[in-house]
Chains A and B, each alone.
Chain A
Amino acid sequence: MYRLALNMLFGDRAKLAMLLCGLAFSALLMAQQSSVFFGIMSWTYTPMVNIRAQVWVSDPMVEQVNDAKPLRDTDLGRVRSVDGVAWAAPLHTSFVQARMQDGNFKLITLVGIDADTFAGAPAILTQGRIEDLRLPDTVIVDEWGAALMGRMTVGPDGKPRSMPLKVGDTFEVNDIQARIVGICKVRRAFTGGPFVYTTYDRAKGYTLGARRTLSFMLVEPQKGVTPAELCDRIERGTGLKAWTSDTVIWNWGERSLARNTFWWFWTNTGIPFSFGTAVLLGLFVGIAISGQTFYSFVLENLKYFAAIKAMGAGMGVIARMLFVQAFTAGLIGFGLGAGMAQGIGRAMIEKGMPPFVMYPQILWATFVLVLGISFVSAIIGIIKVSRVDAASVFRG
Chain B
Amino acid sequence: MSPLAHTIAVRASGVDIFFGTLENQVVALQQADFEARRGELIMLVGPSGCGKTTLLSVIAGTLTPQAGTVEVFGQRLDGLGQEELTAFRRKHLGFVFQSFNLIPTLSVIENVMVPLLIQGRPYDEAHARSLAIIDKVGLKGREDGRPNALSGGQQQRVAIARALVHEPPLLICDEPTSALDKDTGGHIMELVRDLSRSPERCVVVVSHDHRIFRFADRIAEMEDGRISRVVDDPKLLDATHL
Contact = CB atoms under 8 A, between A and B. Distances in A.
B181 to A, nearest CB: 20
B62 A391 contact: yes
A393 B90 contact: no
B78 interface: no
Contacts of A12: 105
Contacts of A9: 105
A309 to B, nearest CB: 8
B56 A4 contact: no
Given A313-B118, A314-B86, A307 B101 contact: yes
A390 B90 contact: no
Contacts of B195: none
Interface in A303-320: 303-304, 307-314, 317
Nearest to B162: A311
Given A4-B114, A393-B97, A310 B60 contact: yes
A307 B100 CA distance: 10
A4 B107 CA distance: 10
Given A311-B95, A312-B86, A313-B118, A391 B63 contact: yes
A298 to B, nearest CB: 13
Interface residues of A, number: 28
A177 B70 CA distance: 105
Most buried by B among A3, A9, A303, A310: A310
A223 interface: no
Contacts of B105: 7-12, 301
B31 interface: no
B104 A11 contact: yes
A303 B123 contact: no
B161 interface: no
B15 interface: no
Nearest to A11: B105
Contacts of B93: 311-312
B89 interface: yes
A3 B95 contact: no
B115 A312 contact: yes
A154 interface: no
A312 B53 contact: no
A7 B110 contact: yes
Interface in B202-226: none
Contact of B114 (A308, A391, A396): A308
B118 A1 contact: yes
B117 A303 contact: no
A389 interface: yes
A313 B90 contact: yes
A395 B53 contact: yes
Interface string B77-108: 00000010011111101010111010111110
Contacts of B90: 311-313
Contact of B53 (A1, A10, A303, A394): A394
Contacts of B63: 389, 391
Contacts of B113: 4
Contacts of B118: 1, 308, 311-313, 317
B57 interface: yes
B120 to A, nearest CB: 8
A394 B176 CA distance: 11
Contacts of B114: 1, 4, 308, 311
Contacts of A3: 123
A1 B60 CA distance: 23
Interface in B9-30: none
Interface of B: 53, 56-57, 60, 62-63, 83, 86-91, 93, 95, 97-99, 101, 103-107, 110, 113-115, 117-119, 123, 174
23 contacts: A1-B118, A4-B113, A4-B114, A7-B107, A8-B103, A10-B105, A11-B104, A11-B106, A301-B105, A303-B101, A304-B103, A307-B97, A311-B89, A311-B90, A311-B114, A312-B91, A313-B90, A314-B83, A390-B89, A391-B57, A393-B101, A394-B174, A396-B99
Given A3-B123, A394-B57, 5 more contacts: A7-B106, A311-B95, A314-B87, A317-B118, A395-B53
Top 7 A-B pairs, shortest CB-CB distance = A11-B105, A312-B90, A312-B89, A391-B62, A390-B62, A391-B57, A307-B101
